[in-house]
Amino acid sequence: MDTFDHVIVGGGIMGASIAYHLMQKGARSVLLLERNELASAASCQAAGLVLQASTKPSKTPLAKLTIDTLLHLEEELAESVGYHMVGSLRIAASEKCAIELDAMAKDAASRNIPIEWPDLSDIRQMVPWLDISNIQKTAFLPSDGYIDPYLLTISYANAARARGAVIRTRTNVCGVVKDAEKVVGVLTDHGPIACGTVIDACGVWAALFAEKVGYSLPMAPVRSHYWIIQPDRTYGGEHPVTILPDVAAYTRPEVGGLVLGVQEANSVTFNARNLPEDLSGFSPTLGEEHWDILANAYEDLSQFFPAIENAHFSSYICGLSSYTPDGEILLGPVPGISGFYVAAGDCGSGITLSAGIGDAIADLALEQTPQFNMEPFRPDRFGPVDPHGDHFRELCAAARASKSRQIISHS
């Protein structure tokens, strides 16, 4: 029977990052198991934003570590990981968002994250298509940017493999073996594997996997989506990611065009028990309803992006993210079950937080003290929950909808 010190279940960006950080910190043997292919679910559908400051200061140091790790990965692999360090322009057009922006800027500065305060002339040069007439305050974080999430996942995996990690795809984990309340192995469709720790990095299925050890993980799958606008000289070229919290939207460059993300006022959730094991043929959106969502946002978006009236949309990408009721991630040991750890509930920030998550879980699995405050991320902070129930899923949907939303008035 195969034996490993650490078994990671889930080959998305979190699982790959954890494998890399475990090996980086000196783990003796690490096995990453994925039932499909690496980065074949939520990781490959993400918009790929890497943003270091948010309304959740607890996440900032994890995001900062991701930026630092991208540079180390490129040196280690001797190849690009595809990071576009174009910066992010955080725009406030209301007093509420201006106050939030000040708090984010203070948090970023306290952690030595570069931040600038561009004037209107600077903003026009940075993003020529942006209508600045409603703007009250703007901050620019030059080290933010965007990345291909599939390429980053593969980069973590390649770096982990180069350090000695074993990665097996097309391997389904169907059970966790315990001795009393201690994890001692996993059962797969290719046979049993003995191990000392099991790390649940199963993405939108993480709650289902946690049920194998009798724990109800407080998270729910929630729809996330974005549109791709065809190339146009009006808004083509590299420019900063723009974050527009007043209209719950963002943009980033996309090969001469734009990626446009819009948050829903009422986010759609799913019962994880009803999800297929392979999301490649699954769509969280029915028919053409996404055009209605975009049409409802047009008036708000046009206040900042007047050219949207003539924009041609080439693609619509929808996927699933895992949300918790408070918008904080789930990171750490499951109480009462020694050796079982969770890295889940990324709340739409899995790419941004990937290195921080990997670093923290690696420390815990190696019985070291993480460099981050882990209290906000405790998996047991909500007490007993039914993660598949309608009420709990509504709480997660509300967290998604309020991630950064305040519609400005049309006066």
Q: How confident is the model at residue 410 (pLDDT cuts 50, 70, 90)?
A: very low
> Where do we find the tokens 């598949």?
388
Contact present, 229 and 184 (Cβ < 8 Å) = no
pLDDT at residue 8, as a whole number: 98
The phi and psi torsions of 130 (rounded to 5 degrees) equal -80, 130
Question: Which amino acid appears at position 227 of this protein?
Answer: W
With 60 as the cut, is the pLDDT of residue 405 above it? Answer: no
Residue range 68-94, pLDDT digits in tens: 999 899 999 999 999 999 999 999 999
Contact present, 147 and 85 (Cβ < 8 Å) = no
Structure tokens at 294: 């975009």
Map out the domains of the chain with their CATH numbers. 2-401 (3.50.50.60)
With 90 as the cut, is the pLDDT of residue 401 above it? Answer: no
pLDDT at residue 408, as a whole number: 32
Q: How confident is the model at residue 383 (pLDDT cuts 50, 70, 90)?
A: very high
Q: Cβ contacts of residue 60 below 8 Å, gap of 6+?
A: 52, 53, 54, 107, 108, 111, 113
Residue range 144-158, pLDDT digits in tens: 999 999 999 999 999
Exposed/middle/buried for residue 157 (C-beta within 10 Å: 0-12, 13-18, 19+): buried
- Helix axis angle for 350-365 and 13-24, nearest 10°, is 40
Residue range 1-34, pLDDT digits in tens: 899 999 999 999 999 999 999 999 999 999 999 9
With 80 as the cut, is the pLDDT of residue 286 above it? Answer: no
Number of DSSP helices (H) and strands (E) in the chain, helices first: 9, 17
In our burial notation (b when 16+ CB lie closer than 10 A, e otherwise), range 57-95 reads bbbbbbbbbbbebbeebeebeeeebbbbebbbbbbbbbe
Q: Which of 87, 129, 132 is nearest to 311 (CA)?
A: 129
Q: What is the mean pLDDT of the chain?
A: 92
Q: How confident is the model at residue 142 (pLDDT cuts 50, 70, 90)?
A: very high
Terminal C-alpha separation, the chain: 70
